Structure 1
Amino acid sequence: MSRAERLLALMQKLRLYHYPISGAVLAGELGISLRTLYRDIASLQSQGAQIEGEAGLGFVLKPGFTLPPLMFSVEEIEALALGAKWVAQRTDARLGAAASHALSKIAAVLPTELRLELDTAALLIGPSQQPNDSDEILGLIREAIRQECKLELHYLDAQGKESTRVIWPCALAFFDHARVVIAWCETRQAFRHFRVDRIKSLLSQELRYPKHRQALLKAWRLAEGIMEQRP
């Protein structure tokens, strides 16, 4: 375990406790000596971590502190790099650019050894046949989801029948061959899935729908029999 990873592990341990925890317990959980633990705590304190306490009494981390250079492990860096590459290649231009910019901001605050891991990450995204969806429509859908606004769309179903729908969009799913809007449909009075490539035109009504997005997603999961994902 590198020193950066050890300091990160110590921060994570301290976040688990909301009361003073003894140095001996911390050292035992981390598999290090008391002398190393005290040196690491002093190092974190010198970098701004608000760790209170002292040897013999225990230590506690005051809430609300995040130390940017130690936010990620090597595997977390790999996951971030892979995720950003996926977004850049599988979504619309604006979201892809946002992923690249976010990764650049993360790289700017990483210590040298972790920045090298980010720059040289060897996990790649394979080629895929991407749907030819309008970036403008995708942008409008994402904005409506964020703002919890109704959308009016002219839609062409699988049989080629065109209809006008007013929907409450609550999620946008990205598949290899299609992007799908998950929404409550006022016409059907039920949840429906709309392929973005079948949307002929789209208009934001700039009216908030009567439920929160999280409540809609929960109801959709229940209707589909999908277990709710936990972070």
Structure 2
Amino acid sequence: MRRADRLFLLIHALRGRRSAITAQQLAQTLQVSLRTVYRDVADLQLSGVPIEGEAGVGYMLRKGADIPPLMFNEDELEALVVGTRFVRAFGGERLGRGATAALLKIEAVLPDALRERSRRTRIFAPQVAGRIENSGLIDALHAAIERRQVLRLDYRDGHGAVSAREVEPLALAFWGGTWTLGAWCRLRGDFRSFRPDRIAAHAPSGEIFADDPARNLDAYLRAVGTRSTG
């Protein structure tokens, strides 16, 4: 966890409490050592954060101290909460963790009424075991896109026949039940949209591809409406 995130979460743990919380409880909440808690609290106090208390007794924010609330209305807040739930369910493990952390930070600076409203949202995206998003494949494809890694795929077509492909991955799209990987296919010499659930095997080739205007993301997006799947 980044130190900035840890300090933010420490303040969040202290926020709104009527009684002191011990360093041991903070260490368990943040999953860090007692020494780290003592150091972080001291650093925050030196930075002007009004934390009262001491080691062996406990800590709390001085009464009246708070973080300025974000200016969300109820519809905006609900959109953020629901969006976070969908990312956790369908965005892969890495983005799911990021969405959870982001929502925690947002809720940390909300007024009490809006924080309670966020918890009453009744639109859910259940996380179900066995879905492709939980297999690590979406995370691997996402990482390859960010790093511009050429991928070698064993890809099954609609009839189950497998072909070997080398692709330059450009984007992932979620269609409400099915993912597609937009890429430049070197075998076809053209753009293709591959379904991750038909990828039998994948591995980076070790090659990094260049941003060629003729076959980059912008070119793919212009062509995607007229091209067939792989």
TM-score by length of 2: 0.59
Q: Which residue of 2 aligns with 1:175?
A: 175
Q: Which residue of 2 aligns with 1:114?
A: 114
SS of the equivalent of 1:70 reads: coil
Checking the alignment, whether the CA contact within 8 Å between 2:145 and 2:170 is kept in structure 1 is yes
Unaligned ranges ≥5, structure 1: 1-66, 227-231
SS of the equivalent of 1:122 reads: coil
Which whole-Å deviations, capped at 9, do the CAs of 1:26-58 have from their partners, x for residues lacking one?
xxxxxxxxxxxxxxxxxxxxxxxxxxxxxxxxx
Shift of 1:97: 3.0
Checking the alignment, whether the CA contact within 8 Å between 1:180 and 1:193 is kept in structure 2 is yes
Query: RMSD value over aligned CA atoms?
Result: 3.0
Checking the alignment, whether the CA contact within 8 Å between 1:150 and 1:205 is kept in structure 2 is yes
Distance in 2 (alpha carbons) for counterparts of 1:134 and 1:79: 24
Distance in 2 (alpha carbons) for counterparts of 1:127 and 1:176: 14
SS of the equivalent of 1:223 reads: helix
Shift of 1:152: 1.1
Shift of 1:71: 4.6
Asked if 1:201 is matched to 2:201, the reply is yes
Matched letter for residue 149 of structure 2: C
Show the 5 A alignment for 1:114-153.
Answer: 114-125=114-125, 131-132=131-132, 135-153=135-153
Unaligned ranges ≥5, structure 2: 1-66
| Alignment CA distance shift 1:100-1:84 (3 Å) | same
Q: Which residue of 1 aligns with 2:218?
A: 218
Q: Which runs of 4+ in 1 moved over 6 A?
A: 126-130
| Alignment CA distance shift 1:130-1:80 (3 Å) | farther
TM-score by length of 1: 0.59
Matched letter for residue 169 of structure 1: P
Matched letter for residue 124 of structure 1: F
Which whole-Å deviations, capped at 9, do the CAs of 1:180-208 have from their partners, x for residues lacking one?
11111111111101111111111113432
Which whole-Å deviations, capped at 9, do the CAs of 1:89-122 have from their partners, x for residues lacking one?
2233343233222211211122223222222223
State, as a whole percentage, how many aligned pairs show the same letter.
34
Asked if 1:161 is matched to 2:161, the reply is yes
Checking the alignment, whether the CA contact within 8 Å between 1:142 and 1:172 is kept in structure 2 is yes
